[in-house]
Structures are given as C-alpha cells and as structure tokens.
Structure 1
Amino acid sequence: MHKTSDRNSLNSHYKLPDWLIEVIEDLDSCIAQRHFEDAIDLLKKSEEYLDNSRDSMELYDIKLSLNNRTTFLVHTLTNELELIAESKSLQGGGYRFSKKAVKLLTQLHRCTQASQLYLMVCSATLKARLEKVKRDGATSCYIKRLSSIAISNISEMLCDFLDIFSHTKKCTSALVIWCSHELKILTTHLSKQMFLPHVSLNALGECLTTIRSHCEQMIHLGIDIRYQFDIQLRSTLAKTLSETKEKYMDSVKIRSLEDNWRPSNFESPQNFYKLKSELEILGIPMLKILDINKYSIPLTSNTLAFSKLYIGIVEDCLNIYVPEIIITVQNVLLSILQIQLQHLLSSLSNCRYKQQIPLIRNNMLYFNVLIDRTLELYRSVVGYQFDRLYILKKKFSYELKQSSMKPQPAPRNSVTKYSTIEYI
C-alpha cells in the first residue's frame, strides 16, 4: 500500500497534525485487526479536516491514499458479507455481524451495494433456519411451524432493513422485490406439502388460515404479503376445489342409492340429545314442527349425514376462499347440494316410495334449514348474498309446495269391490 512513500509525503509538510501524518498507518492497522468502526471514524475525521483545508500537493496525496483505503475497506466488508451469504451453516452470529457490516457500508456511501448484500445474507439465513424445521407429526403441524418461523423471520429482517436504511428510500424497491421472491419460494414449498391427495380440505383450510394470520402480522410494516400469497395459490386452490367437488359428488350419489327412506331411531335419550346438540352447534337445528316420536325423528340417516357433511364442506370452502376463486367455491357448494336435492325430488315422484311421501317431505323441509345456514355462513365470510343458492332455494321450495298440492292416490283398501260379476 506504499506506506513508505505515503509517510514521507506527509512528513514533508510540518504544519500537518500528527494524527493526520499517521492516519494511513492507523487505517491499515484497524482494517487488519477488523476494527472497522474505528477505521470509519478515522476516515470521517480525515475527510472533515481535508474539507476545511486549502488544497495542496501534500493534501492531494493524503486524499488519494484515503480513497485507496476506503476502497480497500469496502472490498473487505463486501467480502465478509459474501462469505456469510455463501456459508451453509450460518453459525457464530453471522446474521448479527452482517447488520454491522451493512451499516458500515452505508456510512461509506455504498447504500445500493449494501442493500443487495444484506438481502443476500437474509435469503441465506432464512433458508438455513427453515431447513432446521423438522417434518415430524401431521402435515398441518409442520405447515404451521414452518409458516410461523418463516413469516416471523421475514418480519424481523424487514424491520432490520428499514432500520438500517431509514435515511434513504432508494433501497425500498429492492426490499419489496426480495420479499416477493422469498414469499414465492415459501409458497412453492408449502404447496408441495399441502396440496397432496391425503391432505383433506379441512386440513388445508386450517393450514391456509394459519398462514394468512401470520401474513397479516406484517401489514403494519407496509407490505401486504397475504394478498401475494393468495394470488400465487389461486390456480392450485381452484384445481383442488374442483377435484374435491367431483369426489364429494360421487360420494353423495352412492349414499343416495343406499337411502331406504326410514326415520332415524336413536333408541336412547343419550344418543338423541347428542345428535340434537351436534345439529345445534352446526347451526342446523331440528325443526320444531317435526313429529318426534320418543327418540325417532322423521329425518333419514342419509339426510342427517349429508347435512353434517355439507356444513363441513361449506366451512372448509369458506376457510380457503379468496375473491379470485369465488365462482369455483360457488360451483362446489351448488353442485354437491344439487345432487342431494335431486335425490329428494326424484324420490318424491318415485312410485316405490308412495307410503314414504310424508317422510320425504319432512326431509325436504329440513333442507330449507340447511340452505339458510349456508347462506348465512357465506354472507358472513364473503360479505354479500349467495344469489345462485338463493335462487335454487326458491325453486326447491316451489317444488315442495307443488308436491303438497297434488292429490294423493287412494289407498288400496279403499277400492270398491263388487259382489257380482254383472258389470264385468
């Protein structure tokens, strides 16, 4: 670093202060011993002195030497940060040191370079921390742990970034791009864990609810990553819902074929009141107008099973709902419900079930309760009425009303019997 020539040049001017004469050697010593803060203090002190001094050949040489040391210090700090970013373990407080190094670079007026290096370290640190999350237990548990750690770390890094670069706004765009990039990586990884055949819609809803709640914690920082998260999952969610619809439709069709149209008998008060409580919790209580004979109710096991299943589907669909897939959500809910309603209407007109017509009507009447609950849940989440379901309800109610107005066939024992064959 030409120490001898630098020092001879400085000593040639007796009016220079002693500390300035020794400043180049002191800088070299500080950098070598990794006393970077002291080195920057010396640089600032030297710059202030030179700014208030008249130009001369001696001072020009000092400025040149200081510029060389500044460049070397920047090079040293950037190398340190690059090594931290490339480290696989990131042990020994690498992330904490990186914040100090970045702050020093900003003091050397290298904000853009400092922000890029800092975000590289953040990416490496985040990756290393997430790799430590064990995949034991249920998928939902792993997803909750992973998303919690990921979002809390991203939030911490965002706060640190905003603190370090609070004096400049030109680095904010780099932060937004970095955040979007990391969220995309996280979303891709989470998708591979969540959207699997063995993961139920209910478990998926729980996972998404948890992730979204974690994302909302960052809104106070001015970045809405929940919206970005939902957008990235839009097509995958729509595909999963469509597949779920087909699965449930097939299941409902099979159960409908097995329906024997018999009232449900619970045989004991414990069983009866347990069901009554379950239905009330789901928001689909039994109608008071139903003729309940002891522990036998005029609702079939098929109707009860479907009602509980359907409310679960409604809640699961609304848990994963985002405005961009609302039509898909509606199609799922309507398609599954229409299969069951069609079963009721076809049974009502089936000659095999003439004796069960009062029972069928009671079941149809109960479906108004189910539809009303669905409309209520939908509006509470989406914020407006489910018009397509409301129209379906009106049509179904009309069919029920029309069926009650049709004359019933006379029972077989009322047919007139002749005592003679005279009229035959």
Structure 2
Amino acid sequence: MNSCLRTPIIKALREYKEKIVDSMKMKVSEDKWTPINMHTKAGVNKFLLQMENLGLILAKYIINETWVDLSSSTIWFAQSILTIQKIGLKLVTKDMMDVLDECIYAVFNSRLALSVGNDSSYAQKNFKFLLETVMPLMLRVYKEEVGYDNEKLVSLAKKFGMKVTPPKKSNITKYTSNEYL
C-alpha cells in the first residue's frame, strides 16, 4: 500500500510547493505592508482561533480590537507553511521525509528571500515575526513529531542569523524500571 501512495504523495507535495511559491511571490509584491482589519471582534476571535489551531498564539498582535498587526502576505504565508508541515507530517513516511523537508525549506527560503530587499520598517517587522515566531514553532513541532530536527530548516534559520537552541530538558525524572513504584 505504501508504495502505491508514495509517488502521488511526493508529486502532490512538489506541485503544492511550486504553487505556494508562485502565489507567495505575487502576494508579497502586492502587499501594502499595513495591518489587516478584521472589522469585528468576532472576526478577530475567529482569526485567533484559526491561528491557534496551527500553533500560533497571536493575541499580542491585535491592536484597536479589530486590527491584526501583521501584513496580509505574512498571515497568508504563516498559514500556508504551517499547514504544509502539519499535513505533510501526517502523510509522509520516513522514506519520504526528505521530500517534505525540501518542500518546507524551499517555501520558507523563498519567503525570506523576498523580504531581504524590502527596507520598510513594517515589512521588517513582519520578517522578524517569521524568524522569531513561525520558524521556532515549526522547528519545535517538527522535532516533537518525528524525534529529530529538520536539518534544512535549522540551516535556513542559521543562514538568517537566528540562534537555534535545543529544546529545554524537562526537570521531570523519568524512570526506566518500575521498581520505584
């Protein structure tokens, strides 16, 4: 069964990567680099819940009750890249992880490369959000799911000056036998 699904899953990941990169280039070039108006508190709450389901807690980015202090392309990218990883980790098997890793790397690298040339302070604030909020979340979730780092994403983080620290060890003692019970 695995061999029957392997080729279509790999093909779908690669096609999705290309579509995301193409869409992202257009969205970043058209972005006005302003906060997003959700119009109502209900709209904000719905947005916050959607982002929380992806692992991002964004309450600190809400301003004046109905505005999200991130650009439209940044929000779109965060949702896209987190979804790629979330679904990819559920679909792929160990022998397909390299394809998922490459997909995540290519999409994230393309987005960061698009930010490098934009000197507006708001664009840089969004760039910082991607590096300091989205990237660490992705690294943590990946490691929790598969038990090791996404080395390509770690190298990308380092390339853009982000310090990658290993997750803090738990203070909880783990026993390997039940003689203490």
Shared fold (TM-score, shorter chain, > 0.5): yes
The number of residues matched between the two structures is 161
Q: In the alignment, is residue 263 of structure 1 matched against residue 39 of structure 2?
A: no
Q: Which amino acid aligns with 1:280?
A: E
2-side partners of 1:282 and 1:240: how far apart? Answer: 21
**How far off its partner does 1:334 sit?**
0.9
The structure that has the greater radius of gyration is 1
* 2:137 paired with 1:366: no
Offset of 1:294 from its aligned partner? 3.7
Maintained 8 Å contact 2:44/2:66: yes
Residues 334, 252 of structure 1: alpha-carbon distance in 2 compared, 3 angstrom cutoff:
same
How far has the Cα of 1:297 moved from its partner? 3.1
Check whether the contact 2:48–2:59 (CA below 8 A) recurs between aligned residues: no
* Structure 2 unaligned regions, length at least 5: 163-181
Output the amino acid matched with 1:390. Answer: V
Cα distance between partner residues in 1 of 2:161 and 2:91: 30
User: Greater share of helix residues, 1 or 2?
Assistant: 1
1:299 and 2:67 aligned: no
| Structure 1 CA distance for aligned equivalents of residues 58 and 149 of structure 2 | 24
Once residues 42 and 2 of structure 2 are traced to their aligned partners in structure 1, the CA distance between those partners, rounded to angstroms, is 44
1:320 aligns with 2:91: yes
Once the two structures are aligned, what percentage of the paired residues are identical?
25
Report if aligned partners of 2:54, 2:79 keep a CA contact under 8 Å in 1.
Answer: yes
User: What TM-score do the two structures reach when normalised by structure 2?
Assistant: 0.78
For residues 161-205 of structure 1, give each alpha carbon's deviation from its aligned partner in whole angstroms, at most 9, with x where no partner exists.
Answer: xxxxxxxxxxxxxxxxxxxxxxxxxxxxxxxxxxxxxxxxxxxxx
Aligned to 1:341: 112
* Aligned counterpart, 1:148: none
Per-residue deviation at 1:322? 1.0
CA deviation after TM superposition for structure 1 residue 291, in Å: 7.5
| Separation in 2, partners of 1:381, 1:230 | 20
The CA deviation at 1:231 is 3.5
Q: Which has the higher contact order (CA 8 A, sep 6+)?
A: 2
Q: CA RMSD in A?
A: 2.1
Q: Offset of 1:287 from its aligned partner?
A: 6.7
Q: Which amino acid aligns with 2:83?
A: G
Counterpart position of 2:170: none
Report the CA distance between 1:341 and its aligned residue: 1.2
Partner of 1:5: none
| Deviations 1:123-163, CA, capped at 9 Å, x for gaps | xxxxxxxxxxxxxxxxxxxxxxxxxxxxxxxxxxxxxxxxx
Match of 2:154 in 1: 390
Deviations 1:110-129 (A, max 9, x none): xxxxxxxxxxxxxxxxxxxx
**1:313 positional shift:** 1.3
SS across alignment from 1:347: coil
Report the Cα offset of residue 329 of structure 1.
Answer: 0.8
